[in-house]
């Protein structure tokens, strides 16, 4: 290793910049969950486990919105008493 390095043309930051629409983050994932995604990619013959996780999250987030609306409608139908209009007498 050299005693002196020349960093005058060096830049701070990641070596590879993320593509537009992508954000680099750090998250903690349980070992068994991460291993499952890696195994799925390996069984498929290669690819990126990160892309697979991204696709799974996108699918879940899309279905969660639909399921929330369906759940709310079902709860309102089942749990609220029927709405009745009372006519005024007079």
Q: Residue 84 pLDDT > 70, yes or no?
A: no
Q: Terminal CA-to-CA distance of the chain, rounded, Å?
A: 100
Residue with tokens 């139908």: 77
Q: Residue 55 pLDDT > 70, yes or no?
A: yes
Instruction: Give which of 13, 35, 36, 40 is closest to 24, Cα–Cα.
Output: 13
Domain ranges of the chain: 31-79
Mean local confidence (pLDDT), 77-83: 74
Query: Read out DSSP for 21-54?
Result: T---------HHHHHHHHHHHHHTTS--HHHHHH
In this prediction, residue 83 carries a pLDDT of: 67
**Global pTM?**
0.55
In this prediction, residue 85 carries a pLDDT of: 66
The tokens describing 7, both together, are 């960093």
């Amino acid at each position: 290793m050299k005693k002196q390095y020349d960093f005058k043309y060096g830049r701070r930051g990641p070596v590879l910049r993320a593509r537009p629409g992508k954000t680099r983050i750090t998250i903690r994932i349980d070992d068994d969950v991460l291993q499952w995604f890696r195994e799925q990619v390996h069984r498929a013959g290669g690819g990126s486990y990160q892309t697979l996780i991204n696709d799974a999250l996108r699918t879940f987030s899309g279905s969660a919105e639909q399921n929330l609306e369906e759940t709310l409608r079902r709860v309102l139908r089942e749990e609220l008493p029927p709405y009745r209009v009372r006519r005024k007498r007079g």
